[in-house]
A and B are shown apart, each in its own frame.
Chain A
Amino acid sequence: MYNFLVSFLLLIASGSAAAATPSELQASLAAQAKAANPGFTGFDAARGRTFFADSHGGDWRCSTCHTANPANVGKHEVTGKLIKPLAPAANAERFTRPDKVEKWFKRNCNDVLKRNCTAQEKGDLLTYLLSVQG
């Protein structure tokens, strides 16, 4: 009975932590992208790289805070707070918590693009970030 209770609680705990790998997130985004566009042909790191550096018609780019090289430590443009590297090769915590990933995509896509990013765009970005050496 005690063992059951402990494993039950751990199961609940691990469920709420909801850890994932970047590859699992990529697969999930691919499914979403395909659902949104039957003509989906996959993600592209080069497209993600361009997207990361582009101004998208606004004042900020992804690189404004995360710097031109996502393996670098970044810096918040307004507060000066240091930001740990975005590339998983440089920071193993990145893209392992789906809830965190969603939170920051929602915020930062609004900051940079004034809209949500599509699953295609998120997937291209993630594919680019996974290609960056630590």
Chain B
Amino acid sequence: MPRPTFIFPALAAGATLLMSPFAHADNAERFTLDETYRQECGECHVAYPPALLPAPAWRQVMRQLDRHYGVDASLDSAMVSHLTKWLETNAGTNARPASTGDAPRMTQTPWFRHEHEEAPQAARRNVGSMARCEACHRSAAEGDYSENTIRFPSRPLGGQP
């Protein structure tokens, strides 16, 4: 039986680890996507993990689907309601987006920038937009961003950034 003076700090350390975002590192990189979300919000771009934005930002996105980063992405109200609920429930808690104008920018949160600090310049140039996750995260369509699935493109992707 360990001495009582060791138990409390050990418990405190353990609890802190559990609350840290990196406690379950593997699971933090694999996101389960609602199937409707994957289909409806993955038709033009990869279905982004809801953890990338906080709930208020997602609500804003869902309110403005007819002006969705330059295009009309309207959905019927039942669909909007379903997707908004799921996004709110699974939204990120440590990502605070900078807004450029009226739309949240998930690629410009301090958290996102920190996560991508080590991305090579050459890869960034080849990909163009950091919103094209699947260019490097080859399993992004399944919500899997684990490190062993990353492969940087060796040539420019083309198309608009």
Contact = CB atoms under 8 A, between A and B. Distances in A.
B159 A80 contact: yes
A113 B159 CA distance: 23
Contacts of A110: 66, 72, 74
A47 interface: no
B160 interface: yes
Nearest to B127: A80
Contacts of A76: 44-45, 159
Name B's interface SS. loop
A55 to B, nearest CB: 16
Given A77-B160, A78-B160, A111 B44 contact: no
A17 B73 CA distance: 21
Interface stretch (A6-14, A87-95, A100-108, A117-125): A100-108
A80 B74 contact: no
A81 B45 contact: yes
Contact of B74 (A77, A79, A107): A107
B157 interface: yes
Contacts of B74: 103, 106-107, 110
